[in-house]
Chains A and B, each alone.
Chain A
Amino acid sequence: MIDTTSTYHAAYIVVALIFGAYAVSLWSRARKLRERLAAARSEPRPE
């Protein structure tokens, strides 16, 4: 049997990195938007 372990390890790591990076990007975008919302809500309302 040929040894293809390194290829499969690389693929499993790449998949984890892609999904992990996307989850972090969603979390980061949500955090920035929440800050923008909070800032907009704390501004004095126009008369």
Chain B
Amino acid sequence: MTNAQVSDAALSKPQAPPRAIFDWFSAIAALAVIGIYVRAIYFTPIERLQGAAQKIYYLHVPAALGAYIAVGITALMSLVYLWLHDERSDRLAEAAAEVGLVFLTVVLTTGPLWGHRIWGAWWAWWDMRLTLTLFLWFIVAAYLVVRGGIEDRAMRARYSAVLAILAALLIPFIHLSVYLFQARLHPMPVVLKPDRPSLPPEMLTTFLLSFAAFSVLCIALIRARYRVGVLRDMAAELAS
């Protein structure tokens, strides 16, 4: 089939008109995050030892959990792609990876800001949670670079799927690093631990609401990025 014939086929093929990338779900996500800002700033008590800087917790930790969700979706959809070779799962994996990189960037900027004030250090390479999170950022960035560098669609999806699965393997090590390594700056978990959360009720409520809001934001951004991917593939198909 010639290029002209391919273009003709693409033009004649009925395609759903591209929807707005942001929809009602995105609006709910935005409102939820604004609500968390208001609750954390005005309606959550200030911690006695750290002062107001402790409120970074309500963004930093939910962003980290959002990054885990996004990278987890990337790995899961990559497995689905390797199994079924469905391009939609590859596109969803790509969307989740990009959103995961944004969430990891939030984690890696709020963390040093908080650490500089409370620990007296922007960074400590011997804190494995910090260093492994940076490694995860690099792997997810590499995933997106690899995708940008491979022309062949099937090869791109296959190679990047393997990278995504390897990236997701880091997540349990990041979470468990505070148990595995004695030398660390990060404290032991106060919520995600075997026994009861050790946060006061008002703080715990803000944290749980923030986790919910960031999870909704994560899904909303993945949906929006997926739609950008659909538009890009439609444009590429028409141009080929």
Contacts and interface: CB of A to CB of B under 8 A. Distances in A.
Interface of A: 1-5, 7-8, 10-12, 14-16, 18-19, 22-23, 26-27, 29-30, 33-34, 36-37, 40-41, 45-46
B178 interface: no
Contact of B231 (A1, A2, A33): A33
Interface in B26-65: 33, 37, 41, 46, 48-56, 59-60, 63
A22 B102 contact: yes
Contact of B55 (A1, A8, A27): A8
A22 B113 contact: no
Contact of A22 (B63, B221, B234, B235): B221
Interface residues on B, range: 35 or more
A40 B238 contact: yes
B217 A11 contact: no
Nearest to B238: A40
A15 B110 CA distance: 8
B21 A11 contact: no
B106 A40 contact: no
A27 B234 contact: no
Nearest to A1: B51
Contact of A7 (B102, B113, B231): B113
B41 A15 contact: no
Contacts of B238: 37, 40-41
6 contacts: A5-B51, A7-B53, A7-B116, A8-B55, A11-B56, A45-B11
Contacts of A1: 46, 48-49, 51
A3 B21 CA distance: 42
Contacts of A8: 52-56
Contact of B21 (A16, A27, A46): A27
Interface string B3-27: 0100110010000001001100000
A30 B11 contact: no
Nearest to B53: A4
The 4 closest A-B pairs by CB, nearest first: A4-B53, A33-B231, A40-B238, A4-B51
B114 A11 contact: yes
B155 to A, nearest CB: 23
Contacts of B18: 30, 33-34, 37
Contacts of A7: 52-53, 56, 113-114, 116-117
B46 A36 contact: no
Given A7-B117, A12-B59, A26-B21, A40 B235 contact: yes
B149 to A, nearest CB: 19
A33 B11 contact: no
Contacts of A15: 59, 63, 106, 109-110
